[in-house]
Amino acid sequence: MFYLIGLGLGDIKDITVKGLEIVKQCSRVYLEMYTSILGCSLEDMQEFYGRPLLLADRDLVEQGADEILAGAGETDVALLVVGDPFGATTHTDFILRAKEKNIPYKVIHNASIMNAIGCCGLQLYKFGETVSIPYWDETWKPDSFYDKIKLNRLHNMHTLCLLDIKVKEPTLESLMRKRKEYMPPRFMSVAEAAQQLLTIVEKKDALERNTVLNEQSLCVGLARVGQDTQQIVVSTLHGMRATDLGGPLHSLIIPAKEMHPLEVEFLQQYAANIKLDDYNH
């Protein structure tokens, strides 16, 4: 049997009872931590689970799925995923490959940022399409995510922005030399995301800035959701670019123009110098 097991968002104890029982019985257990990270070390996880874990890096997950699935038709093999197994499309491919090989499988769900984001008080059913904000570089500055934020705003929906993670990214020089060397890990902050959004907004005409998004638009910054050090801050987009929420992982929300009174009341506790009623149109 192949098991795809969600670990939740906080720490080693967020795994479900069912998930933990399966981990203890498997012959091999892989840990995938390149699409997200958990707030604990590999050593702590191995001690808690009472068994060794095999690290599944980006290359293994994206190119070595057959290696992970090997033998899963005769013995139990598990892949541990931070959050919920279907929070990243990468993991859907494992299920498709298992079906192709006639390998039985089970998915053990858990909390992910997609539902835990409700901790800020914004109602989940009022969220529109989720977007990803990638890191820019000197030659590559994609901005298609802005159009999705715009569409959500025009339909009076909140937007969850998932911020880029760079883990085990090969350097350009190593690709040219065909010898793997990796850049240091990078995790986009809410400040970096806000700055990129402002760069896009500044290029728009006055009408669009007044009707869609501008530097005075509200946004919600969240860090380490589900962990003891969780932080939430409500600010303007201009103010968010100077906000330091500490270590990863960060998420950014662009709220709808019109919020429910309960949403406003709940969010107000995270807005130090802003009266949210003035922004709720």
CA distance 90 to 186: 20
Is there a single domain that holds both residue 145 and residue 91? no
Report the SS3 class of residue 186. strand
CATH (domain of 163): 3.30.950.10
Taking 70 as the threshold, does the pLDDT of residue 170 lie above it?
no
98: closest CA among 63, 134, 71, 124? 71
Averaged pLDDT for residues 159-166: 94
Is there a single domain that holds both residue 120 and residue 64? no
Numbered residues of the known binding site: 9, 84, 87, 112-113, 163, 225, 250
Is there a single domain that holds both residue 69 and residue 195? no
CA distance 20 to 14: 10
| Residue carrying the six token digits 């068994």 | 51
Cβ proximity of 11 and 227 under 8 Å: yes
Numbered residues of the known binding site for S-adenosyl-L-methionine: 9, 84, 87, 112-113, 163, 225, 250
CATH (domain of 64): 3.40.1010.10
Q: Angle, to 10 degrees, between the axis of helix 144-154 and the axis of helix 190-201?
A: 80
Q: How confident is the model at residue 210 (pLDDT cuts 50, 70, 90)?
A: confident
Cβ proximity of 196 and 188 under 8 Å: no
pLDDT number for residue 166: 84
Nearby residues of 2 by Cβ (< 8 Å), 6 or more positions away: 69, 72, 77, 78, 79, 94, 98, 103, 104, 105, 106
Whole-prediction pTM: 0.91
More confident residue, 274 or 171: 274
Taking 80 as the threshold, does the pLDDT of residue 137 lie above it?
yes
